[in-house]
């Protein structure tokens, strides 16, 4: 047993346990990510109903065609107009990798190749430097590139991570949903990323 593990157990048994537990939950990812090249796409059938694409009531002043990502709720909304939005479950950035702002879709790609950005390689040096598009590719079936950022709305090889905070800042969707979104939005579509 490591010293850190012994220290963690001692803290959990101490009066400071609630504070320590809150600290741990705020810095740990909610789950481990799936390695690139592993194809778990068949697991999308296990996705809970609330994380599946559905039409919902949604009040906003944003015009139809706007994408709003709510990272706290882990949903992406495509505003349809008249108080209606198409809602999709998404996986979001883990603690320390969340961000917000307004951008536009700058590029679209079908079955995109994946080149991890230098920032990701620095954190995870074992990652491949490039991976061809396909079912095991972490970007999945489609990718919508967000402005000049390194972030994307994309499919996934790991649908079990939808609804979780596990990514490096991108927003992942099951492939069926990202294909649907991709077909509905043109280049230049406004993307608003919110945390509330």
**What is the span of the domain harbouring residue 46?**
35-194
CATH number of the domain residue 100 falls in:
2.40.440.10
On whether residue 81 sits in a domain, the answer given is: yes
170 among known catalytic residues? yes
Verdict on whether the full-model pTM lies above 0.75: yes
On whether residue 69 sits in a domain, the answer given is: yes
On whether residue 178 sits in a domain, the answer given is: yes
Tokens of 142: 């489609």
Active site residue: 40, 103, 170, 196, which one?
A: 170
Cα–Cα distance list, 111 to 127, 132, 175 (Å): 19, 8, 10
On whether residue 130 sits in a domain, the answer given is: yes
Beta strands 67-70; 142-146: pairing state: unpaired
How many distinct structural domains can be found in the chain? 1
The stretch 117-128 carries a mean pLDDT of: 76
Active site residue: 40, 154, 195, 196, which one?
A: 154
- In the block, which residue shows the tokens 């509905």? 184
On whether residue 17 sits in a domain, the answer given is: no
pLDDT-derived band at 132 (thresholds 50, 70, 90) equals confident
pLDDT tens sequence across 88-100:
999 998 887 888 9
pLDDT tens sequence across 25-49:
333 344 566 566 566 666 667 789 9
On whether residue 66 sits in a domain, the answer given is: yes
pLDDT tens sequence across 13-30:
434 333 333 333 333 344
Q: Is the pLDDT of residue 80 over 90?
A: yes
């Amino acid at each position: 047993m490591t010293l850190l593990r012994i220290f963690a157990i001692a803290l959990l048994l101490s009066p400071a346990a609630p504070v320590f537990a809150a600290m741990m939950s705020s810095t740990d990812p909610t789950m481990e990510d799936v390695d690139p090249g592993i194809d778990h796409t068949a697991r999308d059938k296990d996705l809970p109903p609330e994380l599946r694409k559905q039409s919902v009531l949604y009040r906003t002043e944003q015009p139809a065609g706007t994408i709003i990502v709510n990272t706290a709720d882990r949903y992406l909304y495509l505003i349809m107009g008249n108080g209606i939005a198409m809602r999709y479950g998404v996986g979001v950035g883990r603690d320390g990798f969340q961000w917000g702002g307004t951008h536009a879709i700058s590029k679209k790609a079908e079955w995109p190749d994946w080149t991890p950005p230098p920032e990701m390689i620095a954190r995870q040096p074992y990652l491949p430097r490039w991976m061809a598009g396909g079912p095991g590719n972490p970007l999945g079936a489609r990718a919508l590139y967000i402005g000049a950022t390194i972030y994307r709305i994309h499919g996934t090889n790991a649908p079990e991570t939808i609804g979780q905070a596990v990514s490096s800042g991108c927003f992942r969707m099951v492939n069926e949903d990202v294909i649907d979104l991709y077909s509905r939005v043109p280049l230049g579509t406004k993307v608003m990323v919110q945390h509330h």
